[in-house]
């Protein structure tokens, strides 16, 4: 159904053409031919009467009969010829014959007068229709041929337009809108048009760039969320082994590795480092390897031999990457039967004081390991190093307060504890780094010193509301709000607040994450999407422009004319239309070639574009060498003056046209039409009036303006 709608206007034109040809033009032509044939037969009758008159005066009846027999024989359309004297005597033929009445027979009488005296009359019965019938048959065949040819051309034209122009433009517009909305999977259309191809290429580059940026942002968000989850589980989960298992699963997923381990760095009595395995992937392949995995669960597996690939990260203190490990697994510190090692990465873990606390080993990544893929996870390595250290300190600290302090001090996110009055009780090192304050500068101060003025004004009111009815917007969920650093800089941060009650004492613990960089990346992505949206608007504008001349195309003309008719109907104002085309443009193309023909069209469009600068005026290429101008709120007199200016300006161009029968240079014929539309007025009515005026300008000799109201303007 969508495809059929493009044919409806053309089918309407074809139907109108068929009706005009069959019911108006053809009967009009037949009537003219009948009148012409009848006049011709009357003239023949007059000529014969002159000859017959001479024979009657001479009294030679034999010559008279011979002559009239010859006339009847040579005029096949004549059914009979009767010659009678004024007294009623029939001289020819000798016998009286009466033809049956017929609608197709015409009777022509002509008097025989000599010296102003009527001697008789001659009467001819002729079948005019038989004379016109051959021409009528040919015209009917021609009518069918014209309709069939026009219909075939219409089918081909609409098919080609839909396939090579409309469909690619529509698909490209839909694709660009989807991309602007963040859908990067929408396929872009293929097209043979040079301009559209360039747009498709630009859109493809921008789409890939946006997709890459969005993937980077999503990747960073995923990494930050993983760190946040690690820290949250550290604070809430009592089972240390479960926390380490979740850490390893997260690392395997982010690095796309098949197996790996996390270990804590310990030192023996000789102060030599070794690795205590905290968690590792279960890749047991025999009884000894299963026993080894069970010892990991019990916390009893230590790797003391570090003179191998696994221990290089501990020895050097730097990342170790090997995407082509040697075949001999024993030289790598691995047991016989160990699964094939295709790639390896060893990453040392440090705490906040740059002390080596642990190590992560990963193996068999999907695409191997690179410095970039490892450094991308730096925030996780730092978090794991701090958490290993915190877990270690947790084991050593028996006092709960000291234990919590270790957690707070080693957290990547800022942790702030306040009482019900808003006084800061705890301010960890990460919070110091985020806000730029030392702990001593914030402790016992009101939390509002970390807030922009607009938040500080409502803080006490929000706290009072929560204490009274138990509702505080930040509690139990993460919110994005603005904080203020020591230097007065405002920044975006993500805050989640938990309330801790001890008897009648209420404390509020907030975890703060600086998300200003993420916000900046999001702003860059939004800016890129805005550019894409702008390009989409440019593409839509391109679909309304003629590719050759740069002015509005037929589609833009049709849409604009419909809207201007509606506007003129609402305002009760006049609307005018000028239609003009280049005289004898086919002869121009045949003589100068199509390239020069295109240059001619472009020159004319550029020369007259400056004439129509009013709001609402539209100059468009209507089709081929024909142009149209829509003039809102313009009566016929003013529109005609505009047409005269166009005519004069094209005359001044003086573009040579050696083959023009009208003038030695390029000329145009213009038709002007105006009306005050009402709710029943259609665009085709105004177009028809302007087209009829243009036809009159051509039929009157071309190179002139013709107004439907004021008739011929200049010749």
- Other beta carbons within 10 Å of 400: 8
3-state secondary structure of 323: coil
Instruction: Considering only the C-alpha atoms of the chain, give the largest distance between any 2 of them, rounded to a whole number of Å.
Output: 165
Cβ proximity of 86 and 53 under 8 Å: no
Q: How would you classify the pairing of strands 78-85 and 117-127?
A: antiparallel
Q: What are 361's strand-pairing partners?
A: 261, 346
Q: Which two tokens stand for residue 219?
A: 């990747």
Residue 630 half-sphere exposure toward CB, CA atoms < 13 A: 27
Taken in order 352, 353, 359, 365, the sign of the CA dihedral is positive
Closest CA to 567 of 622, 618, 610: 618
- How far is the C-alpha of 418 from the C-alpha of 431, rounded, in Å? 13
Q: Which residues carry out catalysis?
A: 625
Q: Helical H runs in 543-593?
A: 554-571, 585-592
3-state secondary structure of 632: strand
Burial of residue 462 (CB within 10 Å: 0-12, 13-18, 19+) is middle
Distances (CA, A) of 82 to 46, 66, 78, 91, 184: 14, 14, 11, 8, 94
Helix (H) or strand (E) holding 378: helix 378-396
Cβ proximity of 281 and 313 under 8 Å: no
- How far is the C-alpha of 62 from the C-alpha of 56, rounded, in Å? 10
- How far is the C-alpha of 123 from the C-alpha of 229, rounded, in Å? 118
Cβ proximity of 103 and 46 under 8 Å: no
Q: Helical H runs in 162-299?
A: 167-180, 194-236, 240-255, 287-297
- How far is the C-alpha of 596 from the C-alpha of 599, rounded, in Å? 5
3-state secondary structure of 126: strand
- How far is the C-alpha of 488 from the C-alpha of 484, rounded, in Å? 6
Residue 422 half-sphere exposure toward CB, CA atoms < 13 A: 15
- How far is the C-alpha of 336 from the C-alpha of 198, rounded, in Å? 59
Cβ proximity of 416 and 424 under 8 Å: yes
- Other beta carbons within 10 Å of 494: 17
Q: What's the distance, Cα to Cα, between the start and end of the chain in Å?
A: 49
- Other beta carbons within 10 Å of 25: 14
Q: Tokens 């027999």 identify what position?
A: 69
Residue 493 half-sphere exposure toward CB, CA atoms < 13 A: 25
- How far is the C-alpha of 580 from the C-alpha of 705, rounded, in Å? 9
């Amino acid at each position: 159904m969508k495809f059929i709608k493009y044919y409806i206007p053309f089918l309407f034109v074809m139907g109108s053409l068929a009706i005009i040809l069959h019911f108006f033009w053809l009967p009009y032509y037949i009537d003219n031919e009948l009148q012409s044939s009848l006049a011709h037969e009357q003239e023949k009758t007059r000529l014969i009467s002159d000859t017959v008159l001479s024979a009657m005066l001479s009294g030679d009846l034999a010559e008279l009969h011979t002559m009239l027999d010859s006339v009847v024989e040579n005029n096949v359309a004549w059914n009979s010829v009767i010659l009678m004297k004024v007294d009623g005597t029939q001289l020819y033929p000798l016998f009286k014959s009466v033809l049956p009445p017929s609608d197709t027979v015409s009777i022509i009488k002509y008097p025989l007068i000599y010296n102003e005296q009527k001697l008789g009359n001659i009467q001819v019965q002729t079948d005019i229709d038989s004379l016109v019938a051959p021409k009528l048959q040919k015209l009917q065949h021609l009518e069918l041929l014209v309709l069939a040819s026009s219909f075939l051309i219409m089918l081909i034209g609409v098919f080609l337009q839909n396939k090579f122009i409309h469909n690619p433009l529509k698909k490209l517009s839909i694709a660009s809108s989807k991309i602007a909305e963040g859908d990067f999977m929408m396929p872009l259309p293929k097209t043979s048009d040079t301009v559209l191809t360039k747009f498709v290429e630009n859109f493809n580059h921008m789409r890939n760039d946006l997709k890459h940026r969005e993937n980077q942002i999503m990747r960073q968000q995923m990494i930050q969320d993983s760190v946040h989850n690690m820290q949250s589980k550290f604070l809430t989960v009592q089972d240390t082994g479960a926390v380490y298992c979740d850490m390893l699963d997260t690392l395997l997923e982010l690095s796309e590795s098949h197996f790996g381990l996390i270990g804590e760095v310990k030192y023996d009595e000789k102060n030599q480092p070794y690795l205590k395995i905290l968690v590792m992937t279960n890749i047991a392949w025999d009884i000894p390897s299963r026993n080894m995995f069970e010892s990991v669960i019990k916390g009893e597996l230590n790797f003391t031999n570090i003179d191998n690939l696994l221990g290089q990260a501990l020895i050097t203190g730097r990342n170790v990457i090997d995407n082509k490990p040697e075949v001999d697994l024993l030289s790598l510190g691995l047991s016989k039967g160990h699964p094939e090692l295709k790639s390896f990465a060893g990453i040392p873990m440090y705490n906040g004081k740059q002390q080596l606390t642990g190590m992560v080993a990963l193996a068999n990544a999907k695409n191997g390991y690179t410095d970039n893929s490892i450094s991308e996870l730096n925030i996780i390595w730092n978090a794991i190093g701090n958490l290993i250290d915190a877990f270690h300190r947790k084991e050593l600290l028996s006092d709960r307060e000291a234990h919590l302090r270790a957690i707070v001090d080693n957290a990547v996110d800022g942790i702030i504890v306040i009482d019900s009055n808003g006084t800061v009780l705890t301010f960890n090192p990460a919070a110091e780094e985020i806000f730029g304050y030392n702990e001593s500068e914030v402790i016992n101060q009101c939390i509002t010193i970390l807030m922009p003025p607009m938040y500080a004004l409502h803080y006490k009111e929000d706290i009072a509301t929560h204490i009274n009815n138990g509702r505080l917007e930040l509690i139990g969920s993460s919110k994005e709000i603005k904080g203020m650093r020591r230097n007065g800089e405002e920044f975006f941060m993500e805050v989640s607040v938990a309330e801790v009650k001890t008897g009648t004492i209420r404390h509020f613990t907030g975890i703060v994450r600086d998300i200003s960089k993420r916000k900046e990346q999001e702003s860059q992505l939004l800016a890129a999407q805005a550019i894409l949206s702008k390009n989409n608007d440019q593409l839509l504008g391109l679909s309304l422009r003629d590719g050759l001349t740069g002015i509005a195309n037929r589609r833009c003309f049709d849409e604009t004319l419909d809207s201007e008719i509606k506007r003129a109907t609402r305002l009760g104002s006049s609307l005018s239309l000028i239609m003009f085309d280049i005289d004898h443009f086919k002869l121009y193309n045949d003589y100068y070639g199509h390239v020069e023909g295109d240059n001619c069209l472009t020159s004319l469009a550029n020369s007259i574009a400056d004439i129509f600068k009013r709001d609402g005026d539209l100059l468009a290429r209507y089709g081929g060498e024909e142009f149209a101008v829509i003039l809102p709120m313009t009566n016929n007199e003013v529109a005609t003056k505009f047409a005269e200016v166009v005519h004069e300006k094209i005359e001044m161009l003086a573009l040579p046209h050696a083959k023009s029968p009208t003038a030695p240079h390029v000329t145009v014929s213009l038709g002007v039409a105006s009306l005050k539309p009402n709710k029943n007025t259609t665009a085709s009515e105004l177009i028809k009036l302007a087209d009829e005026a243009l036809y009159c300008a051509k039929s009157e000799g071309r190179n002139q303006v013709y107004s439907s109201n004021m008739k011929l303007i200049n010749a």
